[in-house]
Structure 1
């Protein structure tokens, strides 16, 4: 743990220096509003969201800085905004009936320590990557400041594709991280919580954050390159939001009757991923169940859940007879 702490401390200190430099760049690079970025754009034809997008980039005047600030703020607001409801749910005893590991309730101290480490990760690992994203996106032809946005249908099919691509990357990369040598030095940190909770979704070693994050960020970049630049940054933002929701919900530790996996049987959900944390093995996918089913890494999960259902049924039957 001391090694991990020292790594984070070094990364954190470096990121603070980098953050100071980036802030100065943001201030010096800001220039009076001009229409240099949008020659010939018919503003009257744009919707309210496209106009706001345009105003943001015009305000900053530098697309790299504008994208970096927006992306980081969006990530923080969505991540912690989605975690807060799960923290509240954890304090309401009514919802204990839906807790997958009902006897393991995270303490306030655990959640606070987790939050501090996640924030260190965000500033030391993810912030630099976020600022590097715009140049990488531009190199593969992704549209960033441009308006108008793509059609809804285009956004939808690309989002579906990214879910499939990321799930495949995560499955195999996750299995590799469970190799005994990599697990001991890297992935073990994420498994400190055998009964996960929402805030722990990004509680991980810096190397793991970068490796698994490559599936989230790299999938859209690869698609954009293969499709000849047929992608817009707004699609990337929506994808990141959905991916954060998926990761946080999968770590929530709750499985409700209205959970998405009850509607879409192939969706993994918390029920699937919670078992992975509980058993420290199997169920390696993020969003879907089909790769675990294909490679047989969900057999123990199904046996475990089957035994749970049998025990609950027997307990209920026994209670009925006693009455």
Structure 2
């Protein structure tokens, strides 16, 4: 009985916190607003972010250019590592596919495609937002820690689950793979600069889903921006091609990380889930390098790859 009372209390507290998070600030009294400002842990950070920057943060151009700045940062950092520090023992030991060296020639081919995608699609769509997207209203109050973390966790789980099926069918439906997703698989050994090496349709689908999934809640813009950072950073992390000692997958067995995604590029019919691996494990697609080593030579050649006929005519860069 005591156990059920504890559960009931927890549920009541959970629901009360959700109501508090979603309750419109306009209906708060001045005293309530001041009380909330003094008790919310993120309020000082929010006040610091917004003070004097309201015109920048509220602009319809801020979200797309903020997202692009995250992309550029990941690519810049790991391009420097790949081109000039790959022989440093720390990075050399962490490299997953040690027989594949990242060169400027490989990068240029990917960066050309990404530049075309950005010039033809991303920048024009960002500029169009100036016309049809109103300025962002910056709330007085910061989100609560509970609101921010719970919503980002839900967004993370939702995207991971949904993208698994999009990714799965992009491989299983042959015309869809050849027409669209095979562009991303031009590289069998991924690196950070190849993370956005995508067909425009896939770029549009992924970008739209990451952007719109927060619409399931009245999401605070601070939570929205954190979600952008988390989603893009994790997407790049699984593409870097390095297995660092501090990588998340070493601490959480249900997180895939870079080794699983490297395996997916090497064996395209394995490891479909983008971030977690519970669906891959349930469906028998989660494969590690140790699993490959244990297979017989016949299975090693067959498992997780397309036949030569199925890949005939597709471009392969590495």
Q: Same fold (TM over 0.5)?
A: yes
* Structure 1: distance between partners of 2:129 and 2:253: 34
Distance 1:83 1:308, change over 3 A: farther
* Structure 1: distance between partners of 2:168 and 2:192: 22
Shift of 1:116: 2.9
- Consecutive unaligned residues in structure 1, runs of 5 or more: 1-39, 311-323
Match of 2:50 in 1: 53
Matched, 1:290 2:278: yes
Match of 1:234 in 2: 222
> Which one has a larger percent helix, Structure 1 or Structure 2?
1
Distance 1:262 1:134, change over 3 A: farther
Shift of 1:243: 1.1
* Structure 1: distance between partners of 2:249 and 2:54: 39
Contact conserved, 2:241 with 2:258, CA < 8 A, in 1? yes
Partner secondary structure for residue 67 of structure 1: coil
Contact conserved, 1:166 with 1:216, CA < 8 A, in 2? yes
Matched, 1:147 2:140: yes
Match of 1:121 in 2: 117
Q: Which moved more, 1:164-173 or 1:82-91?
A: 82-91
Could you report, residue by residue, the CA deviation over 1:106-165 in whole angstroms, capped at 9, with x for unpaired residues?
Answer: 211221232232233234333455567799998xxx974223221122101111111100
Shift of 1:239: 0.7
* Structure 1: distance between partners of 2:130 and 2:139: 13
Contact conserved, 2:192 with 2:239, CA < 8 A, in 1? yes
Distance 1:127 1:291, change over 3 A: farther
* Structure 1: distance between partners of 2:147 and 2:293: 43
Distance 1:104 1:124, change over 3 A: same
Could you report, residue by residue, the CA deviation over 1:291-319 in whole angstroms, capped at 9, with x for unpaired residues?
Answer: 11122222xx14x4234489xxxxxxxxx
Matched, 1:87 2:79: yes
Contact conserved, 2:46 with 2:142, CA < 8 A, in 1? no
Could you report, residue by residue, the CA deviation over 1:204-238 in whole angstroms, capped at 9, with x for unpaired residues?
Answer: 000011123333223212x22xxxx2x11221111
Could you report, residue by residue, the CA deviation over 1:172-209 in whole angstroms, capped at 9, with x for unpaired residues?
Answer: 00112112101111111111111010011111000011
Match of 1:96 in 2: 92
Count of residue pairs the alignment pairs up: 254
CA RMSD, 1 decimal: 3.0
* Structure 2: distance between partners of 1:134 and 1:168: 32
- Consecutive unaligned residues in structure 2, runs of 5 or more: 1-29, 296-318
